Structure 1
Amino acid sequence: MHVVLWTTMKPSHVLMLIMITELVSIIPQVTPSASDCVCDLTNTEQPFPHNKLQTVENRASKCTKIITPQQSVELESLLLGLDRRLPQLEADLAVLEKEDDGDLYGTVSLQVIEHERAEIQQLINKLNSTTLSYQRLNRDTTQEVKELKDEMGALERFDTMQVVREKEVNKRLRRDLDQCQKGPPPTVPPPEPASGNCPHGHLQNVTGPNTYSATEYGASYPYGSWGRDPKPAAGKESWFWMVPLTSSNVFSNFVRLYSSLSSLVVGVSIPGNIIIHSSNPTTNTIQGPNVVMYEDALYYNCYNRDAVCCFNITTKTVTSVAMPKGTGFNSKFNFCHLEACYGYTDLDLATDESGVWVIYSTSDNLGNLILSEVIPGLPPKLGRTWNTSAHKRAVTNTFMACGVLYATRYLTKEREEIFYSFDTVTGRERYDVGIELKKMSTNIQSLNYSPVDHMLYAYSDSMIVSYKVHFV
């Protein structure tokens, strides 16, 4: 008697049946007797196409590798760069129209503007090519996903026992059960207060460089600083300042002012050098590169003193405030990295939306960063003070933005990282900020934030470099 068994079998069952069949085949054949019952097993299911499933998985994995978050960041960076450069070009053209003397200044300014226009055109070309590339990628990926969906639908018909469907149902039931056991979801806590005094939110990213140029002094003075006054005097809203350290890469006795960025790039200063003292160095002149300007006054480390000097641009007078006892100066607590230290960087002056700050270290605080407010006045005074756990010699630069102290460290000759922050409102410290800066030269001697245009101004081995700061 022959009995045919019809059954729905999974691929794994089919494999087991094959193994049993092969095992039976090696057993010595015995002639069945008349009373034996012989059964023929017939599988009506098609074999599962494992190779096809593997192909689908490979194609899906390839899609995941092709489309990455970095691609959207690249497009956003191009748009942000274009957004910054176009108003700058317009402003430079307006300055040229206003200040053109028909001679050397106009010729040089036109060359600078032509250079800016060429860079903008490169950005536009890059943006167009990137957009077309992403459009092709989007079209190809859409087709690929549709084909993968169809193939997965075809593979689902092999799940005759609906194992996959039952697993999904079980997952939903288990999730609902867990939620029921935990009770109602907890009340969402209120958001953390905004960092410091910051109407635009938290610092999210830094892009650039937006400006990269040699100073009018060339490579003569690798140390210095530059930037903008957050609270400029009337008529100086678009002005820039620069302080090159002209003696031993440590000292200076003047600040140089420029009516526009293009004037700074071509080295044309309408007021010329504003002299602090005829000698360099001497009492109350500048020591170290960490200089800032606020309310038409220059703040810096006084020569050979643990004190902050304030030089009034209008009255040409200097006042000062002494630092706390034990504050390092004359290269006792410098900014450093593994290979070198930046000399005479004991006191780092900074500005942000709320005013002037000084970052320093003392022996009592074991060389860790200390932050104090500098209250403008005659003379200036030190205000509130915060101690941190970040060691100054592990830091290459600091700056303030919206009441938050940020510190950088050296990664490579091409990269610097904003790795640390201290919020003066919450007292919270972070060592995982993780925002990298693309360097145009090995060292950054000074780093200043300007709340006027949300830019970082870096003086890097005699080059002036700027970066755009983004908040959320």
Structure 2
Amino acid sequence: MPSSLLSVRSAAIFLVLFSQCVSGKDCVCELNSLQRPFPMDQLDSIQTAADKCMKSISSAELMEMDILMLGVQRRLDQLEETVSVLEKEDDGNLYGAVSLRIIELELAEVLELMAKLKKTIELNKQLNESTATKLQNMTEGMTTLEAFDVSHVVIKQRENLRIKRDLVECQHELKATPPPPTPRPRRCPQGLLVNVTGPRTYSLTQYGTSYPYGAWGRDPKPAPGKEDMYWLVALTSSNAFANFVRHYSTLSTLLVGVGPVDTTIASSNPTTNTIIGPNVVQYGDALYYGCYNTPSVCRFNISARSITNTPLPQNSGFNNKFPFGHLDATYIYTDLDFSTDESGVWVVYTAPDNFGNVILSEIIEGSPPSLGRTWRTSLHKRTATNTFMACGVLYATRFLDKQTEEIFYSFDTETKEERYDLRIHIKKMQTNIQSLNYSPRDRMLYAYSDAYIVSYDGVFQ
């Protein structure tokens, strides 16, 4: 119960005791109250109303409208980009028809989000009006109850609190020290990831259902002239190996499956410099992946068609020793997981001396690349299905069921804070997600899921 309500209750007890002796031995006491009876029912009613008011408004409800507004903004930006692509590539035939269909779907999503936003705004308006009325009624009720405070307990209590507050401020000024240096700005001005919406894109690739393992996405640091390009790597040999990367000029050409450009990395599968495992990323016009049959990071320069590599620390796991997985299955050859974010390229791996827990290292660009700062976490690698980076924060997912994947873990490389309570759900279109990566260019997640390419919008704080 709030202290002000207790004070009103205690202040209301104001009694006078009269006594007299009877027959020289016994004393008879007469108790008379100088005040009218205190309305306890009214006080309890205000207390109940205050409790209900506090429970009726949750942080999730307050955040819902912000999330919807961000979603509408992201959809409108994407719709503008898609219209711009249509204007550039419309030939009146295939490209135009596909792009118009994509615009139609995106517009439907915008309208659906707008309807949800309108409904949420109306509900919040009603909640705001109802809460304001209740607060006004409680304020008036408390003012009435204060009339019973003939000893001015509540008034004196307020004055004491004011004096204590002034004293604390005075002591703080006397002990004031120079302000600490301004902390360096975070790499992520938009805050932490709080939700994932979509899917936004869901399509089968040119390969059909033959190759369930692979990866796709956009280059966060594209070469000039390749800003609209998308890349795709499918593991075309034993669901484990690939020897070329495929590029599409736009998202439309990727969805339709026309005009791909294949760039060969190795002569065959498997052999030296072959890609092993689905966790591949492209950054700075170079492909980063796990080297075949060795615990090393390979970097394939797409324009120069040259390959360099750097070894991971001694005893790092490879060749399916520490794969991702869940209770029903493991994702083969996922010992190394590559990610991109606002600051560059990262690699996730583990080793026996870290008890199978995730190790995270920066990859420094160069020919050959090198490893930068390294962090050791408490997340056991086999308990996760995927990891990805966003704004210097490592996120991990796990398998909940055939329809839902959950982002449950995060590790902040700046504060070294670990969390296991995120509970951010991803709606799956297929049972498994073999690779998952974040693109800082559009703040989207790109998933390769049982031969399908899927994308999601990331909602940040």
- When normalised by structure 1's length, the TM-score is 0.81
Q: In the alignment, residue 65 of structure 1 is paired with which amino acid?
A: K
Q: In the alignment, residue 46 of structure 2 is paired with which amino acid?
A: V
Tell me which of 312, 335, 345 is aligned to 1:356: 345
Shift in CA distance, 289/46, structure 1 to aligned 2, threshold 3 Å? same
Task: Give the aligned partner of residue 193 of structure 1.
Answer: 184
Shift in CA distance, 356/179, structure 1 to aligned 2, threshold 3 Å? closer
- Report Cα offsets for 1:244-284 as digits up to 9, x if no partner: 333333222332223333433x2334334434346444432
* 1:459 to 2:432 alignment: no
Shift of 1:150: 0.9
Aligned equivalents of 1:376 and 1:39: distance in 2?
93
Tell me which of 208, 211, 216 is aligned to 2:196: 208
Tell me which of 369, 381, 396 is aligned to 2:369: 381
Aligned equivalents of 1:117 and 1:286: distance in 2?
39
Task: Give the aligned partner of residue 158 of structure 2.
Answer: 168
CA contact 2:408–2:422 (8 Å) conserved in 1: yes
Instruction: Give the secondary structure class of the aligned counterpart of 2:130.
Output: helix
Aligned equivalents of 2:338 and 2:11: distance in 1?
73
Identity %: 46
Aligned equivalents of 1:152 and 1:41: distance in 2?
28
CA contact 1:420–1:429 (8 Å) conserved in 2: no
Tell me which of 398, 401, 408 is aligned to 2:387: 398
Task: Give the aligned partner of residue 82 of structure 2.
Answer: 92
Identify which range, 445-454 or 268-277, moves more after superposition. Answer: 268-277
Aligned equivalents of 1:236 and 1:181: distance in 2?
61
- Report Cα offsets for 1:271-309 as digits up to 9, x if no partner: 344343464444322211110112222111123332222
Shift of 1:82: 0.8
Shift of 1:205: 2.4
Shift in CA distance, 248/434, structure 1 to aligned 2, threshold 3 Å? same
Task: Give the aligned partner of residue 27 of structure 1.
Answer: none
Task: Give the aligned partner of residue 258 of structure 1.
Answer: 248
Tell me which of 31, 40, 49 is aligned to 1:59: 49
- Report Cα offsets for 1:360-414 as digits up to 9, x if no partner: 223444434334443444x423233424143433443333344x35141427333
Aligned equivalents of 2:243 and 2:251: distance in 1?
22
The aligned runs of 1:113-128 (5 Å cut-off) are 113-128=103-118
Task: Give the aligned partner of residue 321 of structure 1.
Answer: 310
The aligned runs of 1:191-340 (5 Å cut-off) are 191-195=182-186, 198=187, 200-201=188-189, 203-210=191-198, 211-216=200-205, 217=207, 219-264=209-254, 266-277=255-266, 279-337=268-326, 340=329
CA contact 2:346–2:363 (8 Å) conserved in 1: yes
Tell me which of 435, 444, 450 is aligned to 2:439: 450
Shift of 1:39: 8.9
Instruction: Give the secondary structure class of the aligned counterpart of 1:257.
Output: strand
The structure with the largest alpha-carbon Rg is 1
- Report Cα offsets for 1:404-428 as digits up to 9, x if no partner: 35141427333523523252xx5x4
Task: Give the structure with the larger strand fraction.
Answer: 2
Shift in CA distance, 47/105, structure 1 to aligned 2, threshold 3 Å? same
Identify which range, 268-277 or 114-123, moves more after superposition. Answer: 268-277
Instruction: Give the secondary structure class of the aligned counterpart of 1:374.
Output: strand
Aligned equivalents of 2:29 and 2:312: distance in 1?
100
Task: Give the aligned partner of residue 341 of structure 1.
Answer: 330
Instruction: Give the secondary structure class of the aligned counterpart of 1:227.
Output: strand
Shift in CA distance, 416/367, structure 1 to aligned 2, threshold 3 Å? same
The aligned runs of 1:425-444 (5 Å cut-off) are 428-432=415-419, 434-441=421-428, 443-444=432-433
The aligned runs of 1:126-141 (5 Å cut-off) are 126-141=116-131
Instruction: Give the secondary structure class of the aligned counterpart of 1:291.
Output: strand
- Report Cα offsets for 1:317-375 as digits up to 9, x if no partner: 44433434322211112234555432211112222344333332234444343344434
Tell me which of 359, 373, 389 is aligned to 1:370: 359
Instruction: Give the secondary structure class of the aligned counterpart of 1:417.
Output: strand
- Report Cα offsets for 1:141-179 as digits up to 9, x if no partner: 212211111111111112222222223333444555566
CA contact 1:92–1:261 (8 Å) conserved in 2: no
Shift in CA distance, 194/409, structure 1 to aligned 2, threshold 3 Å? same
CA contact 1:456–1:469 (8 Å) conserved in 2: no
CA contact 2:95–2:252 (8 Å) conserved in 1: no
Identify which range, 357-366 or 237-246, moves more after superposition. Answer: 357-366
Shift in CA distance, 416/218, structure 1 to aligned 2, threshold 3 Å? farther
The CA RMSD measured in Å over matched residues stands at: 3.5
Instruction: Give the secondary structure class of the aligned counterpart of 2:219.
Output: coil
Shift in CA distance, 281/136, structure 1 to aligned 2, threshold 3 Å? same
Shift of 1:93: 1.7
Instruction: Give the aligned length.
Output: 442
Aligned equivalents of 1:363 and 1:440: distance in 2?
34
Aligned equivalents of 1:310 and 1:317: distance in 2?
8
Gaps of 5+ in 2: 1-9
Tell me which of 65, 69, 75 is aligned to 1:79: 69
